[in-house]
Chain A
Amino acid sequence: MELTRDEVMRIAQLARIKLTEEEVTSLASQLSNILGHIAAMQEVDTSGVPISASILPVTNVMREDAAEPSLPIDEALANTPEREDNFARVKAVLE
């Protein structure tokens, strides 16, 4: 299973990552290897094996619906590159 250059570029676009030409080539091969491993695993007969989307040994971890104080505004927005009043400021987003 060989990934094309376009497929790698598309995945990079979805993840918002900029890649050099060399990275595209090397990632195409690496990702293809990973997909190869998955394809091999998919050949295993798993009929009769229960679905396990989680490997956690617990279920139903929940909390009661009680509100607690949030972060102070300066702490909450400490990581925003640009701030305007109480808002984070970003490039124009078209609805």
Chain B
Amino acid sequence: MATDTLTAVQQEYEIVIGLEVHTQLLTDSKMFCSCNTHYANDEANTHICPVCMGMPGVLPVINKQAVDFTFMVGLALNCSIPELAKFDRKNYFYPDLPKGYQISQYDMPFCVNGSLEITVNGAIKKIGVTRAHLEEDTGRLVHSANNWGEGYSLVDWNRAGIPLLEIVSEPDMRSPEEARLYMQKLRSILVNLGVSSGKMEEGSLRCDANISLRKHGETKLGVKTEIKNMNSFRAVQRALEYEAQRQMEVLSNGGVIVQETRGWVETRGVTVSQRVKEYADDYRYFPEPDLPHIEVARNWVEGIRSQMPELPDARRDRFIRDYALPIGDAELLAGDRAIAHYFEDTTAALQGDDIAGRARLAANWVMGDLSRLLNASETEISNCPISAPHLAALIDAVTQGKITGKQAKDILERAYQTHESPDAIIQREGIASVSDTAAIEAFVQEAVTTNPKAVADYQKGKGNAVQFLIGQVMRLSKGSAKPDVVQPILIAALDKLAQ
């Protein structure tokens, strides 16, 4: 959707968005039984047992690791951790829910009243986190059809009972972009804590959005719709942009918004109605009689707090403080723990006393050429074929004038493909920058002779002709000439011609 269409919505209405985010927790066993959670490569229904299938007479037992992870997330989101928590049953019938109810938390969740900060147009905005509660995931349905075209569904319960953390935000977001930024920040925190794999495309991290419109100045919330099936950050933003526009069209034509669940259809770029939302009362929540309450002693929470890793915001602030990085670079590098480590390792391995200068070089290479290679090959930085010390050695070679920046980029790319160290390539092929004046003079002569128009332009005073000719010399030297060495020789040659 064009930005101006969104602007049109925002001129007339305030967009109000709240997100419900679900993440599977990275435990080894399920939430209430000992079935193995690592089912991704296994056959359907090979990770199920009487407990997660809700057979009569079985009893669930809480996985302590899942509760610990929940507290970690709660603390990272500045939540209060109440001293008493309990589980409840949420009742509904669906084939992916073998027990006929989901064990969840209703009125006494583990974490309440938190917040998360996002950076919108350079300013920090605080988004309220209403609660974070622990529940269990459902099974997976596969839709199929027989030879006569009659549809049916197949059920795989391997996923049923995987610990699932639901994080509910306040309706504090005012644009689809803010919703995407919230989602990105939340993912960064969850992955940094090591509690979530954060893979939206695989469904380990999911996002449902509540969105409504109201006239500016109105304090009452409008009727909302709930949007599902957004499997990427981009989809979150696009789906909400579409839905805001759709709601405006309904309202502008004198219509009313129906409270309903709508699914985002990525291929068509639209949301479509799924089913009229059931009232909360229909779930008939009641306390889970099979699970005793959880009393949360303060030393339990403090023990977890003391083991928390550094979080993205704290790391960003440290990068600004210790390395003098600009806020944008610091935010980008600090968001992912593995990238942050790689950046710091590279900075530490570089030579020289100027730590800010070293950090700037490391940041440029990590965010620039190295990121491009990693993205193009869809490789995580933890599997990067070039180690941080090797990258540092390559950067040092440029700083010391042994090779040019252009040569370094080529070597990096080749080393990335062949998994050699950049230094090995430099040694073997004898690559070195040409600072030999005689050689450069020869290239300059050739460039001047073969480009009379550029020479004429220079003599007419067109400055960019010099840049063009430097480029020609670089090309002739196959990148081995250093531009700052070429420039004075070239200008001397041109001025000599003019005389």
A residues in contact (CB < 8 Å) with B: 14, 16, 53-54, 56, 58-71, 73, 76-77, 84-93, 95
Contacts and interface: CB of A to CB of B under 8 A. Distances in A.
A87 B156 contact: yes
A61 B62 contact: yes
B48 interface: yes
Contacts of A84: 144, 154
B399 to A, nearest CB: 48
B284 A14 contact: yes
B213 interface: no
B63 A62 contact: yes
B64 A88 contact: no
B417 to A, nearest CB: 39
Interface stretch (B26-34, B173-181, B385-393): B26-34
A90 B29 contact: no
Nearest to A61: B292
B318 to A, nearest CB: 31
A63 B45 contact: no
A62 B67 contact: yes
B274 A95 contact: yes
A31 B20 CA distance: 36
Tell me what chain A mostly uses at the interface: helix, strand, loop, or mixed. Answer: loop
A71 B29 CA distance: 14
B28 A66 contact: yes
Contacts, number: 125
A71 B292 contact: no
Which of A66, A71, A73, A89 neighbours the largest number of chain B CB atoms within 10 Å of its CB? A71
A95 B48 CA distance: 23
A64 B34 CA distance: 9
Nearest to A58: B292
Contacts of B292: 54, 56, 58-61
A87 B287 contact: no
A54 B287 contact: yes
B140 to A, nearest CB: 10
Contact of A89 (B67, B154, B295): B154
A62 to B, nearest CB: 4
Contact of A70 (B48, B64, B65, B94): B48
A70 B49 contact: yes
A54 B288 CA distance: 8
Nearest to A82: B152
B375 to A, nearest CB: 32
A30 B143 CA distance: 41
Given A54-B292, A88-B45, A93-B94, A62 B62 contact: yes
A85 B46 CA distance: 12
A92 B153 contact: yes
Given A69-B36, A87-B156, 17 more contacts: A53-B86, A54-B292, A59-B295, A60-B294, A64-B64, A65-B65, A67-B36, A68-B35, A70-B36, A70-B47, A71-B49, A76-B46, A86-B43, A86-B45, A88-B154, A88-B155, A92-B153
Contacts of B282: 14
Contacts of B61: 61-63
